Homo-oligomer: A and B are copies of this chain.
């Protein structure tokens, strides 16, 4: 092995974690649980895992949650856990999007920290309401735009911030998939069903994956988007949401961007990619090969930066577990957000400032910006793909 792994940090007690959503048949809940487990800083002790009470109980039993902490609703869970001496420190909300707002409100109201899946909410009012609530309660709120947890994404951001690319001019982001090329939602596939139901999801490709690409572009480039021109399409007959999004972006300071999100692009699984170009260099990162960052210093040969290689910086090194050439993937990137949230919460519990590296976790404000992006894109497109302001006073 080329380097010594970081090993575990000095571990204090595990944070007590609850979960809303993520019962049998769900997808992202299991991902959150693995992410929480990976660095051993959480213990799952309570859940309102399904809106169907029987399924909620059965799911909890499978996950070794005590029956008395398997709740039938998130409202009940928030109330009862807040009342326990050994109540949960933090809740993970992994439901369909339309539940994010009421669930987050309930737990924040009960004084419980929140980790919430993206997009933040299904409309802007709810998003702004959550911003206000988080600010008022002063609680930790982490939004799982999980790609920001990848070491090489943080490396990319660090290099941009250090000026290695010079002044940023061009941002290219894309997130193509192919799983909705056919009308999968008509077959009973559960993921397809709720994600193409506007009431549950708040939008199609634009919210499910476009918001990831938008967030990633902002995270890496450090730029704030000011306006967009979005041409959203629905290519599959009968589909109730968009499945392809072609978007132009304008950033503060004059940089220009393009963003493509598609769920009807055969041959693409999760082709999230971001490229950023400045007057001194460029970089490219591809989610399907996450341990590598291509770096292009102007006038010099392209370099391939590998996670955990000596050439990487502090922010990537902080979230590296194993040597270069042994791939860390999606679950490890997701786990980095969980471990950062653990640090933010633990610091709060211990009355100290957190490790600054942990503050990279996307915030409720990032979530509101994402919702503004989604709603502005829909608005732009419905008006014929005209330029639409993204401004949001936060």
In the complex, whether A7 has a CB less than 8 A from a CB of chain B is yes
Q: A264-B170, A310-B299 are in contact. Are A322 and B330 (CB under 8 A)?
A: yes
- 3 closest cross-chain pairs (CB), A and B: A269-B325, A267-B296, A270-B325
Determine whether the beta carbon of A248 is less than 8 Å from that of B385.
yes
Q: Which of A277-323 contact B (CB under 8 A)?
A: 277-284, 287-291, 294-306, 309-311, 321-323
Q: A270-B323, A301-B295, A304-B302 are in contact. Are A256 and B284 (CB under 8 A)?
A: no
Determine whether the beta carbon of A279 is less than 8 Å from that of B5.
no
In the complex, whether A68 has a CB less than 8 A from a CB of chain B is no
Residue of B nearest to A167 (CB): B235
In the complex, whether A336 has a CB less than 8 A from a CB of chain B is no
Copies of this chain, how many? 4
Name 11 A/B residue pairs within 8 A (Cβ), A-sorted: A4-B27, A5-B31, A7-B27, A169-B233, A178-B298, A264-B279, A266-B282, A270-B326, A288-B327, A321-B331, A331-B331
Q: A179-B1, A229-B229, A326-B329 are in contact. Are A169 and B264 (CB under 8 A)?
A: yes
Q: How far is the CA of A102 from the CA of B106 in the complex (A)?
A: 56
Residue of B nearest to A3 (CB): B179
Residue of B nearest to A26 (CB): B7
Contacts of A178 in B (CB 8 A): 2, 282, 296, 298
What is the 8 Å Cβ interface bit string for chain A, positions 259-277, against chain B (1 contact, 0 not)?
0101011111111000101
Interface-located stretch among A32-40, A133-141, A343-351: A32-40
Interface centre among A178, A260, A295, A325 (most CB of B within 10 A): A325
Q: Which residues does A use to contact B, with CB under 8 Å? A: 1-8, 10-11, 24-31, 33-34, 37-40, 62-64, 165, 169-170, 172, 174, 177-179, 181-182, 189-191, 229, 231, 233, 235, 244, 246, 248, 250, 254, 256-258, 260, 262, 264-271, 275, 277-284, 287-291, 294-306, 309-311, 321-332, 384-387
Q: A191-B1, A258-B246, A270-B323 are in contact. Are A8 and B33 (CB under 8 A)?
A: yes
Determine whether the beta carbon of B325 is less than 8 Å from that of A244.
no
Determine whether the beta carbon of B290 is less than 8 Å from that of A170.
no
The one of B283, B321, B384 that contacts A387, using a Cβ cutoff of 8 Å? B384
Contacts of A299 in B (CB 8 A): 310
Determine whether the beta carbon of B34 is less than 8 Å from that of A268.
no
Determine whether the beta carbon of B244 is less than 8 Å from that of A229.
no
Q: How far is the CA of A107 from the CA of B65 in the complex (A)?
A: 32
Contacts of A277 in B (CB 8 A): 262, 264-267
Residue of B nearest to A322 (CB): B330
The one of B28, B288, B324 that contacts A269, using a Cβ cutoff of 8 Å? B324
Determine whether the beta carbon of B248 is less than 8 Å from that of A246.
yes
Determine whether the beta carbon of B235 is less than 8 Å from that of A302.
no
Q: Looking at the assembled complex, report how far the CB atom of A208 sits from the nearest CB atom of chain B, in whole angstroms.
A: 9
Q: A280-B266, A321-B34 are in contact. Are A181 and B327 (CB under 8 A)?
A: no
Contacts of A235 in B (CB 8 A): 169-170, 254, 279
Q: How far is the CA of A165 from the CA of B235 in the complex (A)?
A: 14
Q: How far is the CA of A283 from the CA of B64 in the complex (A)?
A: 42
Contacts of A229 in B (CB 8 A): 229, 231, 248, 385
Determine whether the beta carbon of B311 is less than 8 Å from that of A305.
no
The one of B37, B191, B324 that contacts A38, using a Cβ cutoff of 8 Å? B37
Q: Looking at the assembled complex, report how far the CB atom of A294 sits from the nearest CB atom of chain B, in whole angstroms.
A: 7
Contacts of A28 in B (CB 8 A): 1
